[in-house]
Amino acid sequence: MKKHIIFTTALFMGLSSFCQKTEIPSSVKNIETKVDSVLNLMTLEEKVGQMVQYNGSWDLTGPASEKGSKEKEERLKKGLVGSMLNVLSVEATEQAQRLNMENSRIKIPLLFGYDVIHGYKTIFPVPLGETASWDLEAMEESARIAALESAANGINWTFSPMIDISRDARWGRIMEGSGEDTYLTSKVAVAKVKGYQGDDLSDPKTIAATAKHFAGYGLAEGGKDYNAVNIGKNELHNVVLPPFQAAADAGVATFMNAFNTIDGIPATGSESLQREILKGAWDWNGLVVSDWGSITEMIPHGFAKDKMHASEIAVKAGSDIDMEGGAYEAGLQQLVNEGKVDEKLIDDAVRRILRVKFKMGLFEDPYRYSNPELLKSISFEEHSKTARDIARKSIVLLKNQNGLLPIKSSVKSIAVIGPLADDKDTPIGNWRAQGEKNSAVSVVEGLKAAVKDASKITYSKGVSLGEGERSFLMPLKINETDRSGIPDAVANAKNAELVVMVLGEDAFQSGEGRSQANIGLAGLQKELLEKVYAVNKNIVLVLINGRPMEINWSANNIPAIVEAWQLGSESGNAIADVLLGKYNPSGKLPVSFPRAVGQEPLYYNHKNTGRPSNPTHVTYSHYTDIENGALFPFGHGLSYTSFAYAEPQLSSNEMKSGENVTLSLELTNSGKVAGKEVVQLYLRDLVASSSRPVKELKGFEMVQLEPGETKTVQFVIDEKMLSFYTAAGKWEAEEGEFELMVGGNSQDVKSVKLDYKK
Ligand code: NOJ
């Protein structure tokens, strides 16, 4: 590994000692001492520089093209930039690091961040899809692989996991998180942090993770991106914060704050969230990066007059780094000089930044992520195998009438129809990092490779979906007019024994800025489906999408429906594995599927209301034109076998403070093939100091069973499980009766009562 750290004056000799492990003075015993020693050497300007993050889309290897990039480069050389994002490749990151290390007075290594959301090069299912696997080990493993591929390309910091609870399918970024449940999201948060960061951040195969967006971003009003969030303390503490606390407890190195206001205060300017809760009550000592420009966005929010004012608010609130907002570099120094901001706040931010850099071992070797050998050692083939396995675990079998699936080998002809059937790009999804365009295995390819006689598969597109050039920033154009392919698709369906229709959403229908007021099959897809249905009802509908969709008509008419999300690089192979029965589906929905978009936000863990039902009058909480509840509820997912749940038993129906009880139930595979079931435990606190949800997930177990086999599944019920953020503003379990429920989804459950006494 190359090391060309040039130290020009004696002043830097103290600092240079941090750059060579062997030279660390014996007095420098721990990271805190090292951090302070560096901080003591810094000027105010250099400290503020650490709090500045630049986007690196300008070409470091060629002439500066981006507006203002020459100035940026100059500031980098002066050591007035602490981190960069979107600088890609070993060469580019090394070059940027070199500009900083070889020219700056202070020589503090840069961090290189990037949105590695569901894989770097090898693309895994979008997070919502992957969460449907409920397989925490698998989710940790995909993060580990993403970290390795990123680290081998110069990246040492991912802006992931996104652990915003999202209950609204209209929100485009619902694909980026783990859905509507706080407990499940908390578990995923920990798995992801472990996967990215490993046990030791200084291992150059790991990268720093980011818990984002702190906080409430997923509860944007009306599901419209960047919109206001209007929740009170009860929802904030019981629903939104627990995944973040879990990530903080798991040692996540960084947090990102959020674009939204929450109860009127921009999250980026929220002292209560960042200083009081995160850095205060939780005693977390990592760094907080703003979201892109979210400091200056406090101006249009009507919370700050100008950049200067925005900087003052943000730094006081605890935002340590300004991501490409230009606010800190424009104003912080002056604010300190004018006495408006205490330099102690700047010191606190810089300490947090330096701490992360020390933990990552960057002071020992700023070029540790510029190691081309690491890239050479990676087996992308192995990563693809893992991606296929995780992809098939993420598939959810929504409906399977008369055992239409798995497709029998005796089926002689299969018409594969739909715009997404041969689409090699959409399964890569949005937030695709370095996942190549058109690099996924398509459904047609996957099926042809898996069947003995590929000629029995005939493909017709029918209609197209997303048209023209598609990209992260540009609006997507949907085909609403071109029906020319429909007759061919209908003829193909007519002649086939079975139809596999592959419909859903384009990769760029979900993601940032992709909220939709309609969540049905876009464009001409529904028309195509109905026309095919008119000639052949033997249809398996495969959905490829990033959000829950409105598929009421399909659910009522199509015999088999498979939710295949955007599954990443190995999508088509994974789908073929499930359709052909090589893998028995085991995924469960992490989010409710609505009967109509008007039900959104829709989530299983809602409050009961004072009028949950009324058999004779209309005056209860419902819509008059649609049944209450989800079309497919949270936790739902079928298998090619069936599972029988016995009544749950409690070791005691009473539990006193400090005690535990055990809930046991027998689960039997009552079908004909081996299968895996996710047994879910829910709880309801029947009377409490604030109204509690009708049900909340509190545990789950994955159970593999051979046909006819029975296993006993146990859950230990403890006080922590019964606790919530009470009306008195404390996390505690309150005395009284609890209903404990178990089942294979959030709707079909068997229950027992537990009396809890202090
Ligand atoms: C804005 C997004 O909200 C955030 O999640 C992302 O990490 C940054 N842009 C950087 O790309």
For residue 113, give the amino acid letter.
G
Q: Output the CA 314–ligand 1 centroid distance in Å.
A: 17
CB of 431 within 6 A of ligand 1: the answer is no
**Which residue, judged by its Cα, is nearest atom 7 of ligand 1?**
159
In this structure, of 50-59, 199-208, 273-282, the range with the lowest mean pLDDT score is: 50-59
Q: What's the 26 CA to ligand 1 centre distance in angstroms?
A: 41
CA distances from 253 to 54, 136, 189, 207 (A): 19, 20, 13, 9
Residue of 291, 296, 297, 431 best suited for mutating to test ligand 1, as the one with most atoms within 8 Å of CB: 291
Whole-number pLDDT of residue 190: 99
Task: State how far Cα 465 lies from the chain centre.
Answer: 25
Expressed in angstroms and rounded, the spacing between residue 237 Cα and the centre of ligand 1 is: 24
Place of tokens 């629903």: 239
Per-residue model confidence (pLDDT) at position 400: 98
292 in contact with ligand 1, CB cutoff 6 A: yes
Question: Can you tell me whether residue 588 is helix, strand or coil?
Answer: coil
Indicate whether 314 pLDDT > 60. yes
Atom 9 of ligand 1, residue of closest alpha carbon: 292
How close is the Cα of 362 to the center of ligand 1, in Å? 24
Q: Whose CA is nearest to atom 1 of ligand 1?
A: 292
Above 70 in pLDDT, residue 73? yes
CATH no. for 394-599: 3.40.50.1700
Q: Which of 173, 176, 175, 165 is nearest to 117 (CA)?
A: 176
Contact (CB, 8 A) for 268 and 211: no
Check residues 378 and 17 and name the one with the higher pLDDT.
Answer: 378
**645 contacts 747 by C-beta, under 8 angstroms:** no
Q: Is residue 167 within 8 Å of residue 589, measured between CB atoms? A: no
How far does CA 392 lie from the centroid of its chain? 18
CB 257 within 8 A of CB 321: no
> Pocket of ligand 1, candidates 323, 324, 430, 472: which has the most ligand atoms within 8 Å of its Cβ, to mutate?
323
> What CA–CA distance (Å, rounded) separates 627 from 556?
14
Instruction: For residue range 391-417, list pLDDT tens digits in order.
Output: 999 999 999 999 999 999 999 999 999
pLDDT in tens, 715-735: 999 999 999 999 999 999 999
HEC string for 12-55: HHHHHHHHCHHHCCCCCCCHHHHHHHHHHHCCHHHHHHHCEEEE
Contact 694, 675 (CB under 8 A): no
255-276: average pLDDT: 98
> What spacing in Å lies between the alpha carbon of 373 and ligand 1's midpoint?
30
**Confidence band of 4 (pLDDT split at 50, 70, 90):** very low
pTM exceeds cut of 0.85:
yes
Nearest residue (CA) to ligand 1, atom 4: 291
Band (56; pLDDT cuts 50, 70, 90): confident
58 pLDDT band, cuts 50/70/90, is low
In this predicted structure, the answer to whether residue 21 has a pLDDT above a threshold of 50 is no
Cβ-contact 456, 413 below 8 angstroms:
yes
CA–centroid distance for 240 within its chain:
14
The interaxial angle of helices 182-197 and 136-151, nearest 10 deg, is: 40
The rounded percent of the chain whose pLDDT value lies above 90 is 93
pLDDT band at 28 (very low <50, low <70, confident <90, very high): very low
Looking at residue 67, its pLDDT comes to: 62
Cβ of 291 closer than 6 Å to ligand 1, yes or no, is: yes
CATH architecture of 643-757: Sandwich (2.60)
In the annotation, is 423 catalytic? no
H or E segment at 206?
none
Cα 143 to middle of ligand 1, angstroms: 18
Which of the four pLDDT bands, split at 50, 70 and 90, describes residue 29?
low
Q: Which of 166, 512, 514, 515 to mutate to test the pocket of ligand 1 (most atoms within 8 A of CB)?
A: 512
Give the Cα separation of 176 and 472 in Å (integer): 14
Instruction: Compute the average pLDDT of residues 201-217.
Output: 98
| Domains of the chain, residue spans | 394-599, 643-757
Is the CB of 212 inside a 6 Å radius of any atom of ligand 1?
Answer: yes
Q: What mean pLDDT do residues 487-499 have?
A: 98
Pocket of ligand 1 contains residue 135 by CB under 6 Å:
no
- Region 101-111: what's the mean pLDDT? 97
Non-local CB neighbours of 461 within 8 Å, separated by 6+ positions: 417, 418, 419, 421, 422, 485, 489
Residues 6+ apart with CB under 8 A from 606: 693, 694
Nearest atom in ligand 1 to the alpha carbon of residue 162 is 5
Atom 3 of ligand 1 has which residue's CA nearest to it?
291
- pLDDT for position 59: 53
Q: Is the pLDDT of residue 160 over 90?
A: yes
Q: What is the pLDDT of residues 635-690, one digit of tens each?
A: 999 999 999 999 999 999 999 999 999 999 999 999 999 999 999 999 999 999 99
- C-alpha 162 to ligand 1 mean position (Å): 10
Question: Using alpha carbons only, how large is the chain's radius of gyration in Å?
Answer: 27
Q: What share of the chain is helix, strand, coil (3-state, %, to 5)?
A: 35, 20, 45
Q: How far is the CA of 160 from the centre of ligand 1 (A)?
A: 9
Token couple for 468 = 């023209």
Instruction: Supply the residue whose CA is at minimum distance from atom 8 of ligand 1.
Output: 292
Does the beta carbon of 115 sit less than 6 angstroms from any atom of ligand 1? yes
Predicted pLDDT of residue 11: 30
The sign of the dihedral angle between the CA atoms of 12, 18, 19, 21 is positive
Interval 344-353 mean pLDDT: 98
What is the CA angle 406-408-409, rounded to 5? 130
Instruction: Tell me which of 115, 168, 225, 291 is the catalytic residue.
Output: 291
Calculate the dihedral angle through the C-alpha atoms of 268, 270, 275, 280, rounding to the nearest 10 degrees.
Answer: -120
159 in contact with ligand 1, CB cutoff 6 A: yes
Does ligand 1 lie within 6 Å of residue 593's CB atom? no
Give yes or no for a contact between 503 and 521, defined as CB atoms under 8 angstroms apart: yes
292 Cα to the center of ligand 1, angstroms: 6
Nearest CA to ligand 1 atom 11: 115
Q: What is the pLDDT of residues 518-566, one digit of tens each?
A: 999 999 999 999 999 999 999 999 999 999 999 999 999 999 999 999 9
Choose which residue among 115, 268, 289 to substitute to test ligand 1 binding: the one with the highest number of ligand atoms within 8 A of its C-beta: 115
Of all protein residues, the one whose alpha carbon is nearest to atom 10 of ligand 1 is: 292
